[in-house]
Amino acid sequence: MSAVRPFRCAVPDAAIADLHARLDHTRWPDQPDGLGWSHGVDRNMLQELVRYWRHQFDWRGAEAGLNRFDQFMLEIDGLDIHFIHQRSSHARATPLLLCHGWPGSIVEFLDVIPRLTQPERFGGGPEDAFHVVCPSLPGYAFSPAPTARGFNIRDIAQRHAALMAALGYTAYIAQGGDWGAGITRQQAMVDPAHCRAIHLNLVNLGAPGDIEDPLSLVTPEEHERLDRMARHQREGTGYYAIQSTKPQTLAYALQDSPVGLCAWLTEKFHDWSDGDGDLRRVIGWDRLLTNIALYWFSGCIASSVRLYRDNALAMATGVVRHAPIAIPVGVAVYPREIYHAPRAWVERALPLVHWFVAERGGHFAALEQPQIFAQDLWRFKQVVDGL
């Protein structure tokens, strides 16, 4: 393992000029009147977003925002990993491993990290502070893609354990949503000697098999969430079918067309967030485009979607499995999350010590509701410290 190396985001001017040229020469498809979002991304909205991307979005400003945080690279087993390592000024702060998913990135946590490292500025106290480690997943943003086939969430968890060890953290808490939730559950399995507890804002598990009628344990509000999840599985998982079977074919289009990439990612942010049809209510366009531009400039779309197929194969062959977890688990439920497991089901599957139901927020909880997200982690830390 090599030494930790400082890193700064610095996209060449030529890459920005190339993006602008491609945006200027977009070939737009037709869209029948009144179609809206029923068949996918609404063209009128996307054209407005792309005009903003081309003429108003300031990548250099977004880049400076990324570079406000301490970023590094570290080689682990022959492959570099890019990560933010933002230490709190409070020496007794708890190390926290934050793990993103798809179609997100470290951009999801830019408004959360200051709340975690300096909580006294946001209504918390020094006792709530964290030292934050936020890696880019392998093949996402500035973390190079694995060259071997079959790279999966267990492999990522093992790399994250090596990263925390390299940074000198012998005890830490891990948190994740989306892919990050699966990776974080694996974290508890591969590194229980050092990972003190895990916190999830997505739990995807089936009904318990030890009772005759699992639905009898479900509250009315949870029934509604299960109904929404079933609707999502019927109508909103086309992306998953493609990315877990033929990701390379999709990648040719998204790697070559910034508007295609923008549409593919924006649809998920629109459909999975708590914006009631108006994405700007919860995720501003500058934040959204910072995330999309990070995918574009790093050229990572092929490797990011390949994780779906590689992990599906690993699960089918038993390489990745959900073994029992022996460390404390906290769960945050955001009302517009696309996946949901009722509390009674979770309690039968995981050693639950903390359960929080937010008033608002969706799949991209840290991005949509950074204050609620941070406050919940403060409370979870207090629970874990008291055990």
Could you identify the residue written with the tokens 């830490």? 172
Among 310, 354, 363, 376, which one carries the catalytic annotation? 363
Q: Is 363 among the catalytic positions? A: yes
Distance, in Å, from the CA atom of 297 to the CA atom of 66, rounded to the nearest integer, reads 14
Strand pairing of 329-333 and 195-200? parallel
Distance, in Å, from the CA atom of 118 to the CA atom of 97, rounded to the nearest integer, reads 16
Q: Which backbone phi and psi does 71 adopt, to 5 degrees? A: -115, 150
CA atoms within 13 A on the CB side of 51: 6
Among 140, 172, 295, 308, which one carries the catalytic annotation? 308
Closest Cα to residue 9, out of 143, 124, 122?
143
> Distance of CA 245 to CAs 72, 234, 255, Å?
33, 18, 18
Do 177 and 362 meet the contact criterion of CB atoms below 8 Å apart?
no
Among 155, 178, 271, 274, which one carries the catalytic annotation? 178
Distance, in Å, from the CA atom of 106 to the CA atom of 121, rounded to the nearest integer, reads 22
**DSSP string of 158-223, one letter each residue:** HHHHHHHHHTT-SSEEEEESTHHHHHHHHHHHH-TTTEEEEEES-------SSSS-GGGG--HHHH
* Dihedral over alpha carbons 231, 233, 238, 241 (to 10 degrees): -170
Going by C-beta distance under 8 Å and a sequence separation of 6 or more, which residues neighbour residue 352? 329, 330, 331, 343, 346
Taking CB atoms within 8 Å and a gap of at least 24, the contacts of 217-220 are 217/342, 217/344, 217/345, 218/342, 218/344, 218/345, 219/342, 219/343
CA atoms within 13 A on the CB side of 217: 16
Distance, in Å, from the CA atom of 95 to the CA atom of 173, rounded to the nearest integer, reads 6
Indicate the residue type of 255.
Q
Tokens of 221: 């509000």
Q: Which positions are catalytic? A: 178, 308, 363
